[in-house]
């Protein structure tokens, strides 16, 4: 099989516009598809980050108080009673009060410093509050130190900023504050005048938010032994016995209303299991990934169809020419090779231009939306996909061309 | 009707310049039936395309119906083609997507004629060529001779004063060719000027006047030594 | 003549159904992707208060200093001290302070459970500044701010729930254990984005149920139901301690009608900050901002990056679909060079050929528009899987979107056809004769 490039180039010069359009289409498709793949991969990575929570069995109740004028002592009494009731549910394993929970979609965050008068913070941590049941209820893995003692747990009223003297931190935070790995027993300041000493380390523990800005603080969280008895409301996190999540979610509000009816648990989203919580918090990521996926697939299909269409037309236009070549001794595979080579030359031009466009588009999103730089692997993969797509799309019309009978040469028009 | 003086036509490509016509002189009077003959590549078609304002020329003058056409813009030329000239091509050149009726309608549409008048003219010209019953047929459903008659009907529908035909019988057998020629003669009798390129000496002989083109120039047959040879050959053929 | 071209166009499109389908699909998908993402983008990037967006300003004062502020920018809200100082100075024609409050309507009548009621603590000018429409009654007056009245304005929706939609002005209401009096019922009012509270919301929250007197909320020591942002060490244990802390949680707005008023208010802010330095409260140079509504939306990045990226990618997608269409139209038109030559020989002018092919393209565009509209309608209703629910429900297929879909499909296709049609119109009329 002898493939001659020069005659192909000469022929292409007579179809300048068509050639240019296919190359342009391939270039733009490459630019969009590379970036779309990159975005999809990035967002799917976000989706699969572990929270540290025993997500299969845990659910959260957002409980608001009907009477917002209660004193802290009144609220605390009610919270204790509620927790007792929740822990006694046949389907429940454990329960904890909380002011927020992992993947909530934002919440309490404190700067962390090593000294009380340090103005530039060392880092930032998500703040969780709970009692000695917090770790057990969420199913967090304690990798060092100990859990809170019941008598360590303090009460924090609505108007109070209280800094407990002990804290359990996530391994990510411990490592950030004490890179030498001996965080246990050390202390830090989290916007308080007094320090908190690290008594335990859990791993992993996701933050409350999944926002772009917090990526630099991924997995950094601290837990304070506090019952946040806010007069407006509180979260109860409940862990069901394995396989009894649905039962527990049904029993829990009944038990709470039996304690007191002066509370609001939104019938729509007052009680959420972790599947729902995770689904909601990653709405944006999943949505964008789906949209990019749809666009990529349709785009590749349209580009392929466009190549098939144009190549078919060229073949149709050159039937007589092909017939003459065949009459002069060209074999079927010579004709096939001719068209495949032709497409390869066009596609190659397209992907070179496309690679430049893809990188330019990525840089634009980097500066405009603070997105990450795309790795060259995406461009490489995209180039490969489009070259294969081009060859695949050309194959059918080229095959048809190769089957043109030499008789065509003798027919007029 | 049609007068060219010292007209020339040069085709320039990247490599060569071809003089398709040079110092070309011809004068066709109103109502004449002229047959144009000449060897292949001598410039017959080029002459016809220039005469029909399908192409521009490189030098000289061309008066069509008393108008010097070299200064006309594309739109004016289109209008003249549409109203004064009818074309008949060797390859018929019917539009395959359109049926017979719609094909004949094309020049009338561009003239902006009312639907009723269009219909009248189309049916009249189809009547002329004896294909009134085939108005709804598509070109592919007709024989070569019928297709050429449709093409003639299309050329006639606009009542052109000048009919240009490029080897109208080239793709037809003798029987059909004769029919087409008779049609042209009829049209000529009704007053149209006809210029017909042909290879067929028999057909050429039936025209009022013969013009012979060699190497892009009109030659006087009586002075050209090649004429005698060609003429002898024609005579042989006619007898054989 | 256009009808003739349209007829010819249809005929030609029918001749290559696969090719026609391909072009129609390319246009349809391209236009639909663009329209779906645009409908979302339009909703999130619109001007929420077109008549007044240039007169409403939110003042910012840097109370955190260069070490702790937002990379040089002042905090996005005010603390109690600065908020009250602005209010007392009364330097603008109208001004308001606001923060979100989370309340509950206590059981009563045939309701035995409390009802959630979220809203804002605001001052009297809130209603006039933001042109809140009323179904019944009105907002309260400035004197009610001063007397710290227990007045509330409720939404029509809450009015429906509590009073079955009747005129409830003057009726009493128990919120979280305290009695209030309804002075007004607002008609549906939920500007999107919610420019006036971008400190807490991302701009697309549900309509508030209730508006109460700012001073009354302070008296009841109501903590903000929204965001609270602090710096340094915190050790407050009382309401007074909280108010005196550096925490920011109040959004101020002022109405300024002329550039002169804006300039004078800006200089007031600067002087205020400078005075705070003199008084020893700040130890940094005055650092203030005065942004109007659109500047504020922009600064707060109200348009989610996902929306911009989607729109950009969708437009890129549409562009590719158009390039695809140009290629296919070119092939299609040039394949009919023979027919074009004949038409030219029979007297068609270039313009007529040009028009014929543009009309053919417009026909493709029209079909693409119809497909695009169907896809857009499906997409807009299914956009919930692509964007967060609160944003997704903003995307609506209204009359203008339908019109835009068609116009964009047709105009884009005709634009795409310019070059192929130009090539078609320049086919030499002599081509036919020479080629045989
Ligand atoms: N478009 C063109 N470009 C270049 N040369 C041409 C073109 N058309 C015709 N010619 C040349 O002009 C000469 C006359 O051609 P033509 O008029 O077609 O001859 P005929 O019709 O007598 O066979 C030939 O040498 C041909 O090669
Ligand atoms: Mg010829």
Which long-range contacts (C-beta less than 8 Å, at least 24 apart) are formed by C241-245?
C241/A159, C242/A159, C242/A161, C242/C80, C243/C80, C243/C81, C244/C80, C244/C81, C245/A161, C245/C79
Nearest CA to ligand 1 atom 26: B41
What's the mean pLDDT when you consider all of chain B?
86
Q: Provide the residue range defining the domain that includes C231.
A: 63-255
**According to the model, what pLDDT value does residue C256 have?**
95
**According to the model, what pLDDT value does residue A267 have?**
87
Percent of residues in chain B assigned helix, strand, coil, to nearest 5: 45, 25, 30
Cβ-based contacts of B166 with chain C (< 8 Å): 433
Could you tell me if C201 and C83 lie in one domain? yes
C-alpha distances in Å from residue C240, one per residue of A154, B8, B21, C221? 22, 104, 106, 9
Question: In this complex, do B74 and C349 lie within 8 Å of one another by their Cβ atoms?
Answer: yes
Handedness of CA C127, C128, C131, C136 (dihedral sign): positive
Out of C232, C314, C388, closest to residue A295 by CB: C314
CA–centroid distance, B45 to ligand 2, in Å, is 4
CB distance B45 to ligand 1 below 6 Å: yes
C403 has a chain A CB within 8 A of its CB: no
Q: Is the CB of residue C154 less than 8 Å from the CB of residue C186?
A: yes
- Among residues C255, C281, C316, which one ends one of the domains? C255
User: Which of the residues C11, C433, C436 would you substitute to probe the B interface, choosing the one with the greatest number of B C-beta atoms within 10 Å?
Assistant: C433
Cβ-based contacts of C239 with chain A (< 8 Å): 159
Burial B206-234 (b: 16+ CB within 10 A, else e): bbeeebbbeebbbbeeeeeeebeebeeeb
Within a domain: A272? no
Burial C45-83 (b: 16+ CB within 10 A, else e): beebbeebbbbbbbbbbbbbbeebbeeeebbbbbbbebb
Q: Is the CB of residue A47 less than 8 Å from the CB of residue A285?
A: yes
Within a domain: A225? yes
**According to the model, what pLDDT value does residue B227 have?**
47
Q: Is the CB of residue A351 less than 8 Å from the CB of residue A387?
A: yes
In sequence order, what E strands does A52-91 have?
58-65
Report pLDDT digits (tens) over C244-261. 999 999 999 999 999 999
Domain count, chain C: 2
Q: Is the CB of residue B202 less than 8 Å from the CB of residue B233?
A: no
**According to the model, what pLDDT value does residue A128 have?**
96
CA–centroid distance, B88 to ligand 1, in Å, is 18
Domain count, chain A: 2
Atom index in ligand 1 nearest the CA of residue B47 equals: 17
Could you tell me if C236 and C101 lie in one domain? yes
Could you tell me if C197 and C326 lie in one domain? no
**According to the model, what pLDDT value does residue C383 have?**
74
Could you tell me if A245 and A204 lie in one domain? yes
Q: Which residue does chain C place closest to A299, by CA atoms? A: C317
What's the mean pLDDT when you consider all of chain C?
90
Could you tell me if A12 and A93 lie in one domain? no
Question: In this complex, do B89 and C430 lie within 8 Å of one another by their Cβ atoms?
Answer: no
SS3 C252: strand
Q: Provide the residue range defining the domain that includes B73.
A: 2-239
Q: Residues in chain A with pLDDT < 50?
A: 1, 412-413
Cβ-based contacts of C234 with chain A (< 8 Å): 161, 163, 191-192
The CATH number of residue B150's host domain is 3.40.50.300
CA–centroid distance, C429 to ligand 1, in Å, is 15
Atom index in ligand 1 nearest the CA of residue B13 equals: 4
C384 Cβ contact list (under 8 Å, min separation 6): C392, C393
Task: Please check the confidence at residue C380 and state whether its pLDDT lies above 60.
Answer: yes
Atom index in ligand 1 nearest the CA of residue B42 equals: 22
**According to the model, what pLDDT value does residue C355 have?**
92
Q: Is the CB of residue A17 less than 8 Å from the CB of residue C334?
A: no
Task: Please check the confidence at residue C166 and state whether its pLDDT lies above 50.
Answer: yes
Could you tell me if A347 and A396 lie in one domain? yes
**According to the model, what pLDDT value does residue A254 have?**
94
What residues form DSSP beta bridges with C213? C122
Within a domain: A52? no
Rounded Cα–Cα distance for residues A407 and B65 (Å): 47
**According to the model, what pLDDT value does residue B236 have?**
46
Q: Which residue does chain A place closest to C24, by CA atoms? A: A302
Q: Which residue does chain B place closest to C425, by CA atoms? A: B74
Rounded Cα–Cα distance for residues B177 and B163 (Å): 17
Ligand index nearest the alpha carbon of residue B170: 2
How large is the average pLDDT for residues C189-205? Answer: 91
∠ CA C7-C8-C12, nearest 5°, is 120
> What pairing do the DSSP bridges indicate for beta strands B209-214 and B33-37?
parallel
Helices assigned H by DSSP within A226-375: 245-259, 274-281, 283-317, 319-327, 332-369
Structure tokens given for C159: 């009015």
Could you tell me if A236 and A371 lie in one domain? no
Rounded Cα–Cα distance for residues A243 and A75 (Å): 32
Out of C347, C432, C434, closest to residue B78 by CB: C347
Could you tell me if A88 and A223 lie in one domain? yes
The phi and psi torsions of B218 (rounded to 5 degrees) equal -80, 130
Task: Please check the confidence at residue B234 and state whether its pLDDT lies above 50.
Answer: no
Could you tell me if A74 and A203 lie in one domain? yes
Domain count, chain B: 1
Our mutation pick for probing the ligand 1 site, out of B18, B19, B89, B168, counting the most ligand atoms within 8 A of Cβ, is B18
Report pLDDT digits (tens) over C324-336. 999 888 888 888 8
The ipTM (two decimal places) reads 0.81
Q: Provide the residue range defining the domain that includes A128.
A: 67-261
What residues form DSSP beta bridges with B197? B36, B166
Task: Please check the confidence at residue C114 and state whether its pLDDT lies above 80.
Answer: yes
Rounded Cα–Cα distance for residues C393 and C43 (Å): 9
Q: Please report, rounded to a whole number, the percentage of residues in chain C having pLDDT higher than 70.
A: 99
Question: In this complex, do B45 and C348 lie within 8 Å of one another by their Cβ atoms?
Answer: no
C-alpha distances in Å from residue C150, one per residue of C132, C139, C170, C218? 20, 12, 11, 12
CA–centroid distance, B13 to ligand 1, in Å, is 12
Could you tell me if A103 and A206 lie in one domain? yes
Question: In this complex, do A261 and C29 lie within 8 Å of one another by their Cβ atoms?
Answer: no
Could you tell me if C76 and C204 lie in one domain? yes
Task: Please check the confidence at residue C99 and state whether its pLDDT lies above 70.
Answer: yes
**According to the model, what pLDDT value does residue C433 have?**
58
pTM of the model: 0.81
Could you tell me if A288 and A183 lie in one domain? no
The subunits that touch chain A, with at least 3 C-beta pairs less than 8 Å apart, are C
CA–centroid distance, B207 to ligand 1, in Å, is 25
Could you tell me if A93 and A242 lie in one domain? yes
Could you tell me if C87 and C222 lie in one domain? yes
Cβ-based contacts of C341 with chain B (< 8 Å): 93
Out of A28, A191, A287, closest to residue C306 by CB: A287
Could you tell me if A245 and A314 lie in one domain? no
Could you tell me if A107 and A41 lie in one domain? no
DSSP codes joined into one string, C33-98: HHHHHHHHHHHHHS-SSTTTTTTEEEEEE--S-TTTSBTTBPPSSB-HHHHHHHHHH--SSEEEEE
Largest CA distance in chain C: 100
Task: Please check the confidence at residue C22 and state whether its pLDDT lies above 70.
Answer: yes
How large is the average pLDDT for residues C142-157? Answer: 95
Quote the DSSP letter at residue C212: E
Residue C110 — pLDDT band, cuts 50, 70, 90? confident
Could you tell me if C111 and C24 lie in one domain? no
Rounded Cα–Cα distance for residues C195 and C202 (Å): 9
Task: Please check the confidence at residue B238 and state whether its pLDDT lies above 80.
Answer: no
Start-to-end CA span in chain A (Å): 29
Cβ-based contacts of B91 with chain C (< 8 Å): 432, 436
Could you tell me if C43 and C74 lie in one domain? no
CB distance B37 to ligand 1 below 6 Å: no
Q: Is the CB of residue A395 less than 8 Å from the CB of residue A343?
A: no
Within a domain: A343? yes
Ligand index nearest the alpha carbon of residue B44: 1
Could you tell me if A195 and A288 lie in one domain? no
A365 Cβ contact list (under 8 Å, min separation 6): A35, A371, C309
Q: Which residue does chain C place closest to B79, by CA atoms? A: C347
SS3 B230: helix
């Amino acid at each position: 099989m002898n493939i001659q490039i020069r005659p192909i180039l000469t022929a292409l010069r007579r179809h300048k516009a068509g050639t240019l359009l296919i190359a342009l289409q391939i270039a733009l498709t490459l630019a969009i598809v590379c970036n779309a793949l990159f975005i999809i991969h990035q967002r799917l990575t976000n989706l699969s980050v572990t929270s540290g929570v025993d997500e299969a069995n845990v659910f959260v109740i957002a409980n608001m108080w009907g009477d917002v004028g209660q004193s802290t002592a009144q609220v605390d009494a009610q919270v204790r009673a509620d927790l007792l009731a929740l822990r006694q549910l046949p389907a429940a394993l454990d329960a904890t009060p909380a002011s927020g929970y992992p993947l909530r979609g934002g919440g309490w965050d404190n700067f962390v410093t090593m000294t009380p008068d340090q103005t530039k913070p060392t880092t930032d941590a998500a703040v969780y509050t709970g009692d000695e049941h917090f770790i057990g209820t969420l199913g967090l893995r304690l990798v060092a130190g100990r859990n809170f003692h019941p008598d360590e747990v303090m009460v924090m009223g609505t108007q109070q900023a209280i800094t407990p003297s002990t804290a359990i931190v996530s391994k990510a935070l411990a490592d950030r504050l004490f890179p030498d790995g001996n965080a246990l027993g050390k202390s830090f300041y989290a916007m308080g005048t007094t320090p908190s000493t690290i008594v335990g380390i859990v791993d992993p523990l996701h933050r409350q938010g999944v926002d772009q800005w917090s990526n630099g603080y991924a997995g950094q969280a601290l837990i304070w032994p506090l019952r946040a008895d806010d007069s407006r409301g509180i979260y109860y996190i409940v862990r069901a016995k394995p396989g009894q999540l649905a039962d527990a979610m049904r029993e829990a509000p009944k038990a709470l209303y039996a304690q007191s009816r002066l509370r609001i648990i939104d019938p729509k989203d007052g009680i959420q299991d972790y599947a729902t919580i995770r689904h909601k918090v990653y709405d944006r990521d999943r949505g964008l990934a789906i949209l990019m996926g749809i666009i990529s697939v349709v785009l590749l299909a349209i580009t392929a169809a466009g190549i098939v269409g144009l190549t078919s037309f060229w073949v149709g236009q050159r039937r007589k020419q092909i017939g003459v070549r065949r009459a002069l001794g060209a074999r079927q595979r010579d004709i096939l090779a001719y068209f495949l080579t032709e497409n390869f030359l066009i596609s190659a031009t397209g992907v070179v231009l496309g690679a430049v466009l893809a990188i330019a588009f990525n840089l634009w999103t980097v500066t405009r939306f603070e997105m990450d730089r795309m790795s060259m692997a995406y461009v490489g993969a995209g180039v490969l996909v489009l070259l294969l797509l081009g060859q695949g799309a050309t194959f059918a019309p080229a095959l048809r061309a190769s089957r043109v009978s030499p008789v065509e040469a003798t027919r007029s028009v | 009707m049609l007068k060219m003086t010292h007209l020339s036509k040069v085709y320039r490509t990247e490599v060569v310049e071809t003089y398709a016509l040079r110092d070309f002189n011809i004068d066709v009077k109103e109502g004449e039936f002229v047959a144009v003959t000449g060897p292949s590549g001598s410039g017959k078609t080029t002459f016809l395309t220039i005469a029909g304002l399908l192409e521009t020329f490189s030098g000289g003058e061309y008066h069509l119906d008393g108008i010097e056409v070299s200064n006309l813009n594309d739109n004016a030329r289109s209008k003249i083609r549409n109203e004064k000239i009818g074309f008949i091509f060797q390859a018929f050149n019917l539009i395959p997507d359109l049926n017979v009726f719609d094909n004949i309608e094309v020049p009338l549409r561009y003239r902006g004629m009312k639907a009723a008048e269009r219909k009248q003219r189309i049916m009249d010209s189809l009547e002329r060529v004896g294909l009134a019953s085939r108005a709804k047929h598509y070109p592919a459903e007709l024989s070569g001779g019928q297709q050429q008659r449709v093409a003639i009907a299309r050329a006639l529908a606009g009542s052109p004063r000048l009919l240009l035909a490029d080897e109208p019988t080239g793709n037809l057998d003798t029987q059909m060719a004769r029919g087409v020629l008779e049609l042209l003669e009829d049209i000529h009798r009704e007053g149209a000027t006809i210029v017909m390129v042909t290879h067929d000496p028999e057909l050429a002989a039936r025209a009022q006047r013969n013009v012979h083109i060699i190497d892009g120039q009109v030659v006087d047959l009586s002075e050209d030594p090649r004429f005698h040879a060609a003429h002898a050959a024609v005579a042989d053929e006619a007898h054989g | 003549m256009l009808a003739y071209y349209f007829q010819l166009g249809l005929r030609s499109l029918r001749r290559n159904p696969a090719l026609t389908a391909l072009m129609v699909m390319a246009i349809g998908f391209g236009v639909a992707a663009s329209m779906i993402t645009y409908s979302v983008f339009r909703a999130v990037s619109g001007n929420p208060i077109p008549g007044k967006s240039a007169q409403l300003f939110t003042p910012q004062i840097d109370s955190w200093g260069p070490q702790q502020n937002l990379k040089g920018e002042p905090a996005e809200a005010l603390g109690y001290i600065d908020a009250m100082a602005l209010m007392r100075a009364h330097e603008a024609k109208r001004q308001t302070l606001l923060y979100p409050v989370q309340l509950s309507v206590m059981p009563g009548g045939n309701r035995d459970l409390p009802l959630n009621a979220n809203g804002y603590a605001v001052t009297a000018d809130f209603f006039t500044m933001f042109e809140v429409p009323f179904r019944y009654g009105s907002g309260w007056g400035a004197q009610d701010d001063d007397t710290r009245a227990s007045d509330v304005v409720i939404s029509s929706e809450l009015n429906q729930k509590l009073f079955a939609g009747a005129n409830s002005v003057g009726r009493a209401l128990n919120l979280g254990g305290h009695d209030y009096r309804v002075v007004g019922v607002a008609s549906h009012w939920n500007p999107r984005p919610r420019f006036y509270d971008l400190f807490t919301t991302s701009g697309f929250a549900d309509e508030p149920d209730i508006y109460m007197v700012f001073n009354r909320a302070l008296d009841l020591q109501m903590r903000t139901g929204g965001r609270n942002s602090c710096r340094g060490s915190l050790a407050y244990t009382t309401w007074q301690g909280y108010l005196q802390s550096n925490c920011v949680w109040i959004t101020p707005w002022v109405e300024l009608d002329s550039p002169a008023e804006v300039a004078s208010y800006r200089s007031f802010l600067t002087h205020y900050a400078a005075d705070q330095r003199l008084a020893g409260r700040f130890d940094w140079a005055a650092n203030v901002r005065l942004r109007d509504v659109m500047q504020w939306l922009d600064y707060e990045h109200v348009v989610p990056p996902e929306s911009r990226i989607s729109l950009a990618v969708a437009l890129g997608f549409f562009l590719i679909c158009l390039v695809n269409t140009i290629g296919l139209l070119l092939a299609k038109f040039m394949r009919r060079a023979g027919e074009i030559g004949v038409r030219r020989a029979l007297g068609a002018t270039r313009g007529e050929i040009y028009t014929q092919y543009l009309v053919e393209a417009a026909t493709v565009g029209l079909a693409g528009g119809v497909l695009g509209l169907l896809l857009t309608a499906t997409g807009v209703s299914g956009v919930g899987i692509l964007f967060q629910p609160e944003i997704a429900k903003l995307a609506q297929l209204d009359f203008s979107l339908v019109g835009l879909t068609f116009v964009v499909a047709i105009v884009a296709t005709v634009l795409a056809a310019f070059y192929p049609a130009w090539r078609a119109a320049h086919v030499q009329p002599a081509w036919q004769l020479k080629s045989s």
